[in-house]
Amino acid sequence: MSDNPTPSRPAAADAEGRNTPADKNTAAGKGTAAGNGTTADNGTAPDNGTTAENGTTAENGTAAGKGAEAPARRPRRRRPRFSVERGWFPPLGTKGKIALVVSLLTGLLTHGYHLFRYPLYLTDEGIYMQRAWSLVRETSLSPYTYDYDHAPLGWITLAGWVYPLPKQFETFGNAINTGRFLMLLVHVASVYLLFEITRRLSGSVLAATVTSFLFNVSPIAVYFQRQVLLDNLMILWLLLSLFMLLRREITIRSVFGGGLALGIALITKENAVFFVPSFMYLLYRRVKGSASSRFTSTLWPFAAATPIGAYVTYALLKNELLPSGFDFDLNNPPADHVSLLYTLWWQLNRNQGTLFSHTGLLQTSWLVRDKFLLIAGVCAMVMCLWIGTRDRRRNLGFLIAGTLAFGYAFYLVRGSVVLDFYVTPLIPMFALNIGMITDRLLKGSFANRFMRGAHSLTRVAVPSFVAILLLVSPASGYLVHTNTEGRTQIADQYQSKINLTGMQHAQIAWVRKHVPPNSRIIMDDDLWGELHDVRPFYPYAHSHWNASSDPDVRDKLFRKRWQNVDYIIMSNKMRKSMMTNNSDGRENWILQALRNSTRVWSDTQGNIKLEIYRVQ
């Protein structure tokens, strides 16, 4: 049992502030890079790899062949030339194909096995599924008042996934399971993209393999990436966007597609904005000097702005862009209607950073889940930044990898509100940096044949050894861990004896058996789908978040009186978040209901406790 109870707040503030531009040195970069334009013998890239890149590669190939014959000195070296800037990526090859397939299968296994049992259904998973439900059943962005806390594309995607399924939300048992299955597919697609991105940024299959291993197997990755989170969907779009900028031949279409994917990522989860500077720099380096550079460099931002424009237009059409009377007073929220810009302003001004304190998430959650990835990730990021800035021309891949991780890490440590799952987008970026640095550290060229053999053996042996160490060491929690009784056992995420969500199923089963459907219930959002989409429906079951803040629920149904509550479906997580959410006393009447109630059901496993109270 190692499921940390963590407070989570639905109105999450995570699009704020600005990153230091990673490309502020571009002018200097131009100077150094300009020189290499002259040797351009288009596309020595001997790549006929996986992605279809039309006939031109073949043509380039022959041209390059001619060019290479000219000096006619000693036999040509077999090593393929590599340049991120010009899209000269080595071919995937047989070894690469094997590594890719193994990575995809590993991802399927680590994320698919036990998917519906671990981890516990989280409040936020419930919220996103609840909103997808509202889209499918009510054609509205939320069953409650949508207050622009997040851009809606994430749950629009979830709704799009659920809608054509045979039993819709119950296809995989319940709403959250159905969402989690999509997360599995998203993960596998992300593995492919991350593998190829790493390979193209580093020119090495080894780097791609190491990255994919961590992205697949790290317990923190498994924990968060199995959950129905907007961040997981956002990462898929973000990786797709990056991948589009790393195609062999950069075309206007691919750049446009990449911009569009970035825009989609941004209205899936706004924190994608912290990756944008790296993307801009990569685009700049890739299109510089090409015949179409004027078009690509204007159409990319245009494409990225398109989805955002749709979001803003939506608010505008609903007359919800600006608060009434341009009143941005944070102490006095507008009462008559919600407003996109007001919410954004409010989020930008939230400051309660406690990331590094003893009780902060870093200590209590993230490091507990995977020390190795986080510590090695930070080190690798620093090294990537150092290598990348030392020679921007040759080490573009390192610079991009380093700044991607840095931009997002900056957002996390900057001292605003951080929720447990905010770490999710950092996982692939740290994996990427570790992969690139592993490859770099194990690089070497030897004239001696014996040494060459030994070196290539080392390149495989060292990472394999570390991987095995991570898998067998109980301290890592990758495959095994030490339980509370000091015994070594299979880690929770794969432990067949553990069924965390089973407790929640039992809770629901009790409700169905003993609680009449017209009861007025306070609960947490993770049960929402179960009670609103499975017959008999419980139309008066609402989360404590909405009961304490949404005027419709608070003032019309419960009228802020504890006597109007019939049941409270409770978890220790929910109890804690009610406390933290009660700084202004908004949950008082619910807590009072709790004090005037009797416990009618409970179950406990490790540090998780679920209860049901009947209010007198």
Partner 1 sequence: MIVAIIYLVLIVVSILLTVQSAHVLYLMLYTWDRADAERQARAPDEFLPPQISFSVLLPARHEEDVIQSTIERVVRANYPAELLEVFVICSQDDDGTIKKAEEKIDDLKRKGLHNVRVVVFDDKPINKPHGLNTALPHTANQVVTIFDAEDDIHPEIFSLVNTVMVQEKVKVVQAGVQLMNFESNWYSTLNVLEYFFWFKSRLHYHAHYGSIPLGGNTVFFARELLLRLGGWDDRNLTEDADMGLRISAMGERVRVVYDDRYVTKEETPPTLGHFIRQRTRWSQGFMQTLKKGTWKKMPTRKQRWLAFYVLAFPRGQALLGIYLPISLGMILILKVPVLIALCSYLPVLLLAAHFLVQAVGLYEFTGAHGLEASPKAIVRMAIAWFPFQMVLAYAALRAMRREMLGRHDWEKTQHVGAHRATTEEAESRVG
- Residues of this chain that interact with partner 1 (CB under 8 A) are 54-56, 59, 249, 251-253, 291-292, 294-295, 298-299, 302, 306, 309-310, 313-314, 317-318
CB of residue 23 to partner 1, shortest distance in Å: 21
CB of residue 264 to partner 1, shortest distance in Å: 15
CB of residue 63 to partner 1, shortest distance in Å: 10
CB of residue 313 to partner 1, shortest distance in Å: 6
Contact 297/287 with Cβ under 8 angstroms? yes
CB of residue 159 to partner 1, shortest distance in Å: 13
CB nearer to partner 1: pick between 141 and 207: 141
CB nearer to partner 1: pick between 8 and 339: 339
Which amino acid does the sequence have at 424? T
CB of residue 253 to partner 1, shortest distance in Å: 6
CB nearer to partner 1: pick between 20 and 56: 56
The closest of 182, 613, 149, 213 to 419, measured between CA atoms, is 149
From the centroid of its chain, how far is CA 196? 18
CB of residue 55 to partner 1, shortest distance in Å: 7
CB nearer to partner 1: pick between 59 and 552: 59
The burial class, CB within 10 Å (0-12 / 13-18 / 19+), for 356 is exposed
CB nearer to partner 1: pick between 306 and 483: 306
In whole angstroms, give the CA distance from residue 288 to residue 290.
6
CB of residue 165 to partner 1, shortest distance in Å: 22
| 536: preceding bond cis by omega (within 30 degrees) | yes
CB of residue 296 to partner 1, shortest distance in Å: 8
CB of residue 84 to partner 1, shortest distance in Å: 18
Going from the C-alpha of 574 to that of each of 370, 496, 554, the distances in angstroms are: 25, 26, 18
- Contacts of residue 83, defined as CB under 8 A and 6 or more positions apart, other chains included, come to none
Which amino acid does the sequence have at 52? A
Contact 616/596 with Cβ under 8 angstroms? yes
Q: Is the dihedral of CA 142, 145, 150, 152 positive or negative?
A: positive
How many residues are there in the chain? 616
CB nearer to partner 1: pick between 170 and 249: 249
- Output phi, psi for 535, to 5 deg: -70, 145
Contact 107/212 with Cβ under 8 angstroms? yes
In whole angstroms, give the CA distance from residue 475 to residue 372.
10
In whole angstroms, give the CA distance from residue 524 to residue 10.
11
CB atoms within 10 A of CB 415: 13
What is the 8-class DSSP label of residue 497? T
The burial class, CB within 10 Å (0-12 / 13-18 / 19+), for 314 is middle
Question: For residue 491, is it left (φ>0), alpha (ψ between -120 and 50) or beta?
Answer: beta
Q: Which helix (H) or strand (E) holds 302?
A: helix 293-317
Q: Which helix (H) or strand (E) holds 603?
A: strand 597-605
CB nearer to partner 1: pick between 187 and 286: 286
CB of residue 257 to partner 1, shortest distance in Å: 12
CB of residue 245 to partner 1, shortest distance in Å: 15
Contact 125/526 with Cβ under 8 angstroms? yes
- Output phi, psi for 284, to 5 deg: -55, -45
- Output phi, psi for 282, to 5 deg: -60, -45
CB nearer to partner 1: pick between 290 and 564: 290
CB of residue 133 to partner 1, shortest distance in Å: 18
- Contacts of residue 577, defined as CB under 8 A and 6 or more positions apart, other chains included, come to 7, 8, 9, 123, 544
In whole angstroms, give the CA distance from residue 518 to residue 537.
8
| Rg of the Cα atoms in the chain | 26
